[in-house]
Chain A
């Protein structure tokens, strides 16, 4: 088992290096078209530009810059903004909690809703309800997330307000000036974005739960339990459900790496101050270095997440350890 884990870690190293190389190369293609400091002062003379370039370390040879870059990454320094010199890692630190709040809630929502939907569909297989649920899943997957978000905002925020009814806030994490302590306020702000984000998860996971449930219900041990006289309820909820959900957990685990980046579009539409929105804002301002710093961070998280998933599978599935 240890050998397996070690081999997985070793296999990850080239990927990490690869990620830093790719981002570094892209950064240099990009930096070529950017004049740092121009935003600060239009009067910038060539000497001043040189001075700023020296300050940012852009005049050293490539290999040296790469080593500085990867050295920084190892220590958690993902570079500085080209626009105001601020530390990317600081931005990430400021914004990560908000993103996690959103994506974790969305995943939880997804799980909590998919299971009943999937189970219902399996239990009433072939019925109108089942068909309706399947249709909803298939449909849900085709709805553009940003559009769904837009429509929800327009109805639940704008239209309801226009009609003088209580309405949901259309953006942000909390009402300003409240300091974020009020739980109800936070929930109210969280509802719409989390729902939109969970939508896609829902579609897939509910179908998956359904088929998983069907498979489990067709198993011999279920038939045995029934034959032994166990109530249908116990059969379903006590035995079948538990076994049906395990594969779902695996699937959810697959989503962990997307915890950071997955919410980008929702964050932008709902003005949720997370990492995705930060990347988008900085991209619009052509702040290449921040964009790349964030991307590197996210990529490394994905790699770490995959590694973690490998470990978990090895732990759960004995067959893998001796592969």
Chain B
């Protein structure tokens, strides 16, 4: 189904930036991300590619104790309907359940709803039944009225003073949200919004008895978003020492039963080195270390050092706008783009820059998605000679200074990425070097994240950008990345790439929910994009986790790290401390 983008997106992308060095962690909270949501699906490939990080244990859960998770960036707020960064989303899903949640493999699972909704044949009506006896943390009952209230904030004209990032996805689509009885919620749509089920049913349900009387405008700056007094999730909020830690305590009124842990602490850690260090000492129990620290961590006996694939990729994209004559002269020829891609020694780059915790990629889909084409064609090997030949044939002859020239224009351009992300900055320097060897001059220039996004969507004066895309769910739709619908302020097709065939295939794949019909269409799209290379994919980086052995059932997977933390109910620590 078509997603005009990142309702959740930013969060995802953010998450992606999150991994590496200290500064880009700092970027996270503010620097939202260009993002694309792949949409849901099952994941046959999932079992091979990823899975729960700790094997299901046969130990009986020990009650009590606390879990400390280390993260490089502080949360920004508890804005349930607005959070832009992954840290905040993580704690929000810990404190607020929605109708549905997400499993490690990306499947929808019912949380507050007792089952997945019944959907009318025309996909315009969704009916949810809530579980019986739902309560908020203060004991007040959670009913369909709260659901109606929460969604009302996102689509009703009366509430438009309340700023929600999901409004543009819902306003104009949802006709009404009603509660025929306290346990039933009915969503009626005026037109099909295929992403609804996978992206918008996870929104935390807000307590109407606390927030119902606040005017929408006042709600924007309400204290609840930094101090959620009443929650309905696994943990309830205790306190937030800004810049240092956020403390949570067990919510005894949680619908699935009280969690094993007494406390969960989100600890802000300086940087990758400190995170790894604290994992070693046990000052923190779980965390995502930097690739540069990972090898060292693997030697520590008290820690499970886990790596598994993540639904994201790193790629670079060209400015293919005809109006930008100099970029167009360089990049419009498909063979030139092929040559540039062949000149990159991606396996070695993965080893050096990612310390081998990334896989060279060939397809625009991620391997764990059901629509991934493992035999995408063409695939590119590192072939400097071949690259040189393609460039020669395309009329770019080597000039006196070693840089190719054609019609008086030197093959020279600037390549940007977001500043503060050490891995990306290193990547563009490596690319510069490797392209230099085939006579192409690239100037690496990191720029502020905001500027990068604006460039992609509005300014378009860039030449090449290196970026990462991460997905929050498993739908393979990429309309906003590769089609004409994605060009402009709402999309991510910063290349201005226009291919009617891709447009047609992408749109057709959204007209049905039958995977058997959609799959061949996505296969074809992957082949076309691999041949045309408007935005060649470089790597699929891995998730890296360090988990102390005393922690059990920490079942984090590709899709539920920050998108949904309800599973934390089952986590326990063997020593009960």
Q: A176-B267, A177-B247, A286-B30 are in contact. Are A43 and B242 (CB under 8 A)?
A: no
Chain A contacts of B23 at CB under 8 A? Answer: 284
A271 to B26 alpha-carbon distance, docked (Å): 11
A280 to B23 alpha-carbon distance, docked (Å): 10
Are the CB atoms of B490 and A273 closer together than 8 Å? Answer: no
Does residue A264 face the partner (Cβ distance < 8 Å to B)?
A: no
Are the CB atoms of A35 and B26 closer together than 8 Å? Answer: no
Q: Which of A35, A41, A157 contacts B277 (CB 8 A)?
A: A157
Q: Which of B30, B66, B165 contacts A177 (CB 8 A)?
A: B66
Minimum C-beta distance from A91 to chain B (A): 8
Chain B contacts of A210 at CB under 8 A? Answer: none
Are the CB atoms of B263 and A177 closer together than 8 Å? Answer: yes
Does residue A59 face the partner (Cβ distance < 8 Å to B)?
A: no
Does residue A53 face the partner (Cβ distance < 8 Å to B)?
A: no
Q: A43-B165, A176-B245 are in contact. Are A170 and B277 (CB under 8 A)?
A: yes
Are the CB atoms of A43 and B453 closer together than 8 Å? Answer: no
A172 to B5 alpha-carbon distance, docked (Å): 38
Does residue B118 face the partner (Cβ distance < 8 Å to A)?
A: no
Chain A, Cβ-Cβ closest to B28:
A285
Are the CB atoms of A42 and B29 closer together than 8 Å? Answer: no
List B214-266 residues whose CB lies under 8 Å from chain A: 220-221, 226, 241-245, 247, 263, 265
Stretch at the interface among B6-14, B49-57, B141-149, B534-542: B6-14
List B119-172 residues whose CB lies under 8 Å from chain A: 163, 165, 168-169
Are the CB atoms of A43 and B27 closer together than 8 Å? Answer: no
Chain B contacts of A173 at CB under 8 A? Answer: 244
A174 to B241 alpha-carbon distance, docked (Å): 11
Are the CB atoms of B32 and A284 closer together than 8 Å? Answer: no
Interface flags for A144-167 (1: CB within 8 Å of B; 0: not) read: 000000000000011001000000
Q: A170-B274, A171-B269 are in contact. Are A83 and B29 (CB under 8 A)?
A: yes
Chain A contacts of B451 at CB under 8 A? Answer: 33, 286
List A64-118 residues whose CB lies under 8 Å from chain B: 83-86, 91, 94-95
Q: Which of A38, A270, A285 contacts B26 (CB 8 A)?
A: A285
Are the CB atoms of B84 and A43 closer together than 8 Å? Answer: no
Does residue B271 face the partner (Cβ distance < 8 Å to A)?
A: yes
Chain A contacts of B100 at CB under 8 A? Answer: none
Are the CB atoms of A95 and B168 closer together than 8 Å? Answer: no
Q: Which of B10, B267, B449 contacts A42 (CB 8 A)?
A: B10
Are the CB atoms of B450 and A172 closer together than 8 Å? Answer: no
Chain A, Cβ-Cβ closest to B76:
A84
Interface flags for B467-494 (1: CB within 8 Å of A; 0: not) read: 0000000000000000000000110000
Chain A, Cβ-Cβ closest to B14:
A39
A44 to B245 alpha-carbon distance, docked (Å): 32
Chain A contacts of B241 at CB under 8 A? Answer: 180
Chain A, Cβ-Cβ closest to B245:
A176
Are the CB atoms of A176 and B244 closer together than 8 Å? Answer: yes
Does residue A221 face the partner (Cβ distance < 8 Å to B)?
A: no
Are the CB atoms of A158 and B26 closer together than 8 Å? Answer: no
A33 to B451 alpha-carbon distance, docked (Å): 8
A51 to B5 alpha-carbon distance, docked (Å): 21
Q: Which of B7, B77, B245, B450 contacts A39 (CB 8 A)?
A: B450
- Chain B interface residue number, banded: 35 or more
Are the CB atoms of B454 and A38 closer together than 8 Å? Answer: yes
A86 to B457 alpha-carbon distance, docked (Å): 27
Are the CB atoms of A39 and B243 closer together than 8 Å? Answer: no
Are the CB atoms of A287 and B30 closer together than 8 Å? Answer: yes
List A292-316 residues whose CB lies under 8 Å from chain B: none
Q: A161-B281, A177-B245 are in contact. Are A40 and B31 (CB under 8 A)?
A: no
Minimum C-beta distance from B157 to chain A (A): 14
Are the CB atoms of A42 and B26 closer together than 8 Å? Answer: no
A40 to B450 alpha-carbon distance, docked (Å): 11
Chain A contacts of B247 at CB under 8 A? Answer: 177
Minimum C-beta distance from A145 to chain B (A): 17
Interface flags for B196-230 (1: CB within 8 Å of A; 0: not) read: 00000000000000000000000011000010000
Which residues of B approach A to under 8 Å, CB–CB? Answer: 4-7, 9-10, 23, 26-27, 29-35, 66, 68, 76-77, 82, 84, 163, 165, 168-169, 220-221, 226, 241-245, 247, 263, 265, 267-271, 273-274, 277, 280-281, 283-284, 420, 448-451, 453-454, 457, 489-490
> Would you give 18 A-B contacts (Cβ < 8 Å), ordered by A?
A33-B451, A40-B82, A41-B10, A41-B168, A43-B7, A45-B489, A48-B168, A83-B76, A86-B226, A158-B277, A170-B270, A170-B274, A176-B68, A177-B265, A270-B270, A285-B26, A285-B30, A285-B449
Given contact pairs A161-B280, A171-B269, a sample of 9 additional A-B residue pairs in the complex whose CB atoms are under 8 Å apart: A35-B450, A40-B32, A83-B76, A170-B273, A176-B68, A176-B284, A177-B247, A277-B243, A282-B30
Which residues of A approach B to under 8 Å, CB–CB? Answer: 33-35, 37-46, 48, 51-52, 55, 83-86, 91, 94-95, 157-158, 161, 169-177, 180, 270-271, 273, 277-278, 280-282, 284-287
